[in-house]
């Protein structure tokens, strides 16, 4: 697993995150005291879930002999009422084309995709986090 690092400095509201050769900007909208230079941390988490789930569904569908032309996900989340509260629920709406008429088979596809997506597995079974300082 690659290392991820982040950096913030005085005078800035955004955070720079380095992943392999990529630089991501994490920020908040202006109405949340940010500068809107990038997605929020929660939006980044949901983006990782969307990318992982969609990318995992394609090979799973191939194994299950389910033809796919498109996979579209819409993810919505409900956050706690306080500013820094965690996400309380995440809803993933899956739309595939061609539409699968066999609803049981569609449910199996989604279930197997959940098992193959690292991010959905991590959210379902949170890892132990440790913190250290210099």
Per-residue pLDDT tens for 56-80?
A: 999 999 999 999 999 999 999 998 8
> What does the alpha-carbon distance between residue 134 and residue 74 come to, in Å, rounded to a whole number?
41
33 and 60 belong to one structural domain: no
The answer to whether residue 133 is domain-embedded is: no
> What does the alpha-carbon distance between residue 61 and residue 112 come to, in Å, rounded to a whole number?
9
62 and 98 belong to one structural domain: yes
> What does the alpha-carbon distance between residue 122 and residue 124 come to, in Å, rounded to a whole number?
5
Looking at the structure of the chain, the number of domains it has is 2
64 and 118 belong to one structural domain: yes
pLDDT exceeds 80 at position 1: no
Six token digits for residue 102: 């066999």
Q: What was the pLDDT predicted at 134?
A: 85
60 and 31 belong to one structural domain: no
| Reported pTM | 0.91
Q: Binning pLDDT at 50, 70 and 90, where does residue 81 land?
A: confident
Distance of CA 65 to the CA centre of its chain: 26
Q: Binning pLDDT at 50, 70 and 90, where does residue 83 land?
A: confident
The answer to whether residue 72 is domain-embedded is: yes
Domain with 85, as residue range(s), is 40-124
pLDDT exceeds 80 at position 97: yes
61 and 76 belong to one structural domain: yes
14 and 47 belong to one structural domain: no
pLDDT exceeds 90 at position 104: yes
71 and 9 belong to one structural domain: no
């Amino acid at each position: 697993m690659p290392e991820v690092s982040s950096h913030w400095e005085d005078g800035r509201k955004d955070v720079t995150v380095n992943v392999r050769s990529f630089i991501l900007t994490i920020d908040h909208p202006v109405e949340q005291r940010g500068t809107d230079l990038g997605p929020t941390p929660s939006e980044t988490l949901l983006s990782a879930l969307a990318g992982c789930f969609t990318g995992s569904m394609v090979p799973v569908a191939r194994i299950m002999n389910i033809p796919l032309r498109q996979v579209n996900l819409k993810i919505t989340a409900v956050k706690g009422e306080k500013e820094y509260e965690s996400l309380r629920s995440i809803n993933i709406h899956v739309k595939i084309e061609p539409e699968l008429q066999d609803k049981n088979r569609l449910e199996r596809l989604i279930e197997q995709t959940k098992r193959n997506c690292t991010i959905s597995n991590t959210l379902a079974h949170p890892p132990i986090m440790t913190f250290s300082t210099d």
